[in-house]
Amino acid sequence: MRRRTRISIKLALLALLLVAAAAVAQDSQYKIRAKIDLVVVPVTVKGSGDRLISGLTQKDFVIFEDGHQQTISNFTADPVPLSAAVVVDTGLSAGSLSKVQKTFPALAGAFSQYDEVAVYQYDKFVTKLLDFSNNTERVEAAMNKLRELKPDANLALATNPNSPFGVQGPVINGFPVLPPGANGTIQTVPPKPTKVLNDAIMTAVSDLVRRERTRRKMILVISDGISSGSDHSFEETSRSLLETGIQVYAVGLDQPFVYKKVSVLEDYAKTTGGDAYFVKSIQNIEKSYAVAAEEARNQYILGYVSNNEVKGAGPVFRDIKVEIADANYKTLHRKGYYQYP
């Protein structure tokens, strides 16, 4: 009887040890998985004249996170198909909207048969005209709907600098810039139009995250950069873009060229690793479409395991900087990511 009791106690202790060991192993596996999270950074490299640089290898790149150099463990330069959300600002001035409407054939032609395209329009509201499709005829049909739109007469007055009722002088994101020595008063202008740029981008993000992970995801915004009345802020929208790895490419119109660096379109592009093109002529608008698609499709993809650790509940924003060793090239990439515990 005593012998059976001792055996039972030993078996019970053994069972407890096995349960504890399993718990430790499970906890260790969880910690290991957390530490090997791969940070993926798509990078566009440009040389003089903004020409794309090809033929680089993993050894040509140096990547830093919060100022600490990281070891690149994954690298590829293979082109991939795109999931592209085309977002068109239909509240442009009459002249710019007319130009854009003439470029839609070139816009549809900028994407290949392997890409899939969705089309949205926005001004006061966001409307999806086409869900993601690689059918060229369907894409062209959606854009033809936009060709039939007429410009808002009131908005044309508010944004046309040549109108006697329009904003006199330069405009930054829809706000007039006062000349030096001005007393703070300017010619009366119509109320600033409601144009939900941030909401339009967020709508595209929510659709893009459901596309296949093997595709590169981009938003091509054709806009004057005015953002007013959105439910989502720029900060909230930018964070969503960074967390989903979606890049913004922007074709900017109706803004003085000298002020492009303070445009919200430039901010979105720099934050996500995309690009912004401020153009006026129909020819340059069409060229921007092709350049954006080419840049998005042909990127170097760097991967590394962060040597930083989150202390506390997190998440922590990590700043990323990519340089090319022994070359004076320009790199475009997302400015960072959010690291979770």
Segment 65-109, tens digit of pLDDT: 999 999 999 999 999 999 999 999 999 999 999 999 999 999 999
**């470029």: which residue's tokens?**
103
The letter for the amino acid at 326 is: D
Q: Where does 54-193 have alpha helices with state H?
A: 94-102, 104-109, 136-147, 153-159
Predicted local confidence at residue 37, as pLDDT: 83
Predicted local confidence at residue 258, as pLDDT: 65
Alpha-carbon distance 100 to 146, whole Å? 10
CA–CA distances in Å: residue 119 to residues 85, 164, 274, 301: 6, 35, 19, 27
Predicted local confidence at residue 277, as pLDDT: 95
CA–CA distances in Å: residue 57 to residues 40, 54, 61, 62, 65: 16, 9, 7, 11, 20
Q: In what order do the strands lie in the sheet with 330-332?
A: 72-76, 300-305, 38-46, 330-332
Predicted local confidence at residue 191, as pLDDT: 59
Predicted local confidence at residue 325, as pLDDT: 87
Give every CB contact of residue 33 below 8 A, 6+ residues apart in sequence.
Answer: none
The residue ranges of the chain whose pLDDT is under 70 are: 1-36, 152-192, 257-261
Instruction: For residue 129, give the nearest of 195, 194, 200, 196 by alpha carbon.
Output: 200
Q: Quick one: DSSP state of residue 124? A: S
